[in-house]
Structures are given as C-alpha cells and as structure tokens.
C-alpha cells in the first residue's frame, strides 16, 4: 500500500485595508511576514536587507523569532500509512489529528503497509503477509463471535462498535490507517527536523520528506532551507542549518 500525502488546506491572508504595506508573497508566508512586522510596526520596510518576503522570513528563522510561524498552517490527508507510524506521528502534540476509527470502520479487508526493511525481500514479505493474514482472520472470527455474544444489545450501532473495539486488539501495527493532520508552520518545521533525520524510522522519514516537498512548494521562504539528500542505502533525509529547536 503506497504512501499518499495530499495537501487539502492552507492559510489564506487578507491584508487589512488600513495598513499601508504590501509584500511580494501571499497566503501563509504573507501572514507570517505581517505578524512579524506587526510586532515592530515596520510597515515601511526600513531595512533593505529584509525588504522582500523571502529575505524577511529568512531573517526571522535565523534569529529564532519562530512564534510568528505559528499563525500559518497546512493540512494534509495521509493514506497508505501504518498504525505503527501514526503511533509515532501523534506524539507531535502541536499537530491536530482526525484518524480513521477502528471502532466504526470494519477492518476485515484492511490493507497492510509493509515495513520498509522487508519491501525488497520476497521471503520477508511472505512472512509479514502470513502473519498479517492470520491476524486479520482472528479479527474476523472474534468479530463474528462478539456480535453473537452481544446480540442482546438493542442498539445495532452500539453493538457493532463494542464488537469492533474488542476485536481490533488483534490487528497488527502494519494495518493501514488514514489520517488528517493540521499543523502550523513552526510545528511542521519541527516535525521535519526530527523525522526526516537518518535516526528516524524509515516509514515516518518518508512521510516527513513527502510533506516537506509539498510544503517547500507551498511556502519556499519558510521551508526552502531544508536540503534533501540520498543516503547510501537509497533512503532520503532532509537537513537544514537553521534548525535550532530539538
């Protein structure tokens, strides 16, 4: 099941008509610049070295005035991601999440996300498939027996929910899930710095790189300092000299 990351929402910016100021950007980057200039009322752009949006935001990031990055946000719909990966993802508490519910959505025909370490080895793939198939078979059997056991519960929706919430305990971490993630620019920079590192698990690293590519297109003045490189094993990492938060 391939990873898919779709940008589904982004910040818009409406300049106040009573402020005599303009910029060469729009959307989130324009909002971040506006927020920064609002702190000092520097609408006239007195410093020529920070007169453009790109140069202004570069300076903001260099000096660590990162709170202004929190005004702009981006939202992704992520599919083809494993439950084990989202267990790591949701530890980033500055994001907002809405994830597929295993209590309401049946998982009897759910997809499996192979761990990157086994993808290129047919024998290991077969072992993973065998294990996940067995888990799914146990899930289906449990679900049937639980629905029979709970037959006296008059509310059909509640009955199915109670059965699924118990049966899901045997589903593997490799089960595919789907999740909507919203984060401000500062949170996204932190996520990328932490998870696009060679020290991160490969699956979440792939996610971080996929998000970075779209964020760099959306707001190059905010995310363009990250460089993507390929390691000897073929996996990718992203590094920035301007990351100060760990």
Binding residues: 67, 88-93, 99-103, 168, 184-186, 190, 195
Among the listed residues 83, 160, 195, 206, the single catalytic one is 195
Containing 98, the helix (H) or strand (E) segment is: strand 96-99
Containing 236, the helix (H) or strand (E) segment is: strand 236-239
Q: How many residues does the chain have?
A: 246
CA distance 220 to 26: 12
Instruction: Identify the CA nearest to 218 among candidates 173, 185, 177.
Output: 185
Taking the CA atoms of residue 127, residue 133, residue 139 and residue 140 in that order, the dihedral angle to the nearest 10 degrees is -160
Is there a catalytic annotation at residue 83?
Answer: no
Taking the CA atoms of residue 17, residue 22, residue 23 and residue 29 in that order, the dihedral angle to the nearest 10 degrees is -20
Binding residue ranges for dUMP: 88-91, 99-103, 168, 195
CA distance 101 to 175: 12
Binding residue ranges for FAD: 67, 91-93, 99, 184-186, 190
- Which residues are known catalytic residues? 195
């Amino acid at each position: 099941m391939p990873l898919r990351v779709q940008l589904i929402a982004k910040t818009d910016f409406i300049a106040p008509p009573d402020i005599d100021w303009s910029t060469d950007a729009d959307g989130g980057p324009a909002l971040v610049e506006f927020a920064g200039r609002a702190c000092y009322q520097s609408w006239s752009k007195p410093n020529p070295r920070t007169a453009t949006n790109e140069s202004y935001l570069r300076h903001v990031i260099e000096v660590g005035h990162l709170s202004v990055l929190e005004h702009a946000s981006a939202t992704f719909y992520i599919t083809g991601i494993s439950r084990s990966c989202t267990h790591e993802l949701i530890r980033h508490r500055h994001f907002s999440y809405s994830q597929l519910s295993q209590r309401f959505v049946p998982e009897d025909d759910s997809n499996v996300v192979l761990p990157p370490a086994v993808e290129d080895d047919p024998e290991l793939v077969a072992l993973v498939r065998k294990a996940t198939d067995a888990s799914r078979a146990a899930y289906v059997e449990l679900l049937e027996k639980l629905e029979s056991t709970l037959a006296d519960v008059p509310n059909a929706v509640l009955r199915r929910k109670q059965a699924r919430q118990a049966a899901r305990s045997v589903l593997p971490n490799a089960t595919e899930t789907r999740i909507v993630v919203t984060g401000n620019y500062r949170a996204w920079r932190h996520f990328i710095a932490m998870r696009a590192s060679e020290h991160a698990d490969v699956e979440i690293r792939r996610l971080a790189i996929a998000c970075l590519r779209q964020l760099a297109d959306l707001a190059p003045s905010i995310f363009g300092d990250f460089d993507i490189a390929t390691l000897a094993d073929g996996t990718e990492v992203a590094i920035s000299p301007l990351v100060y938060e760990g």
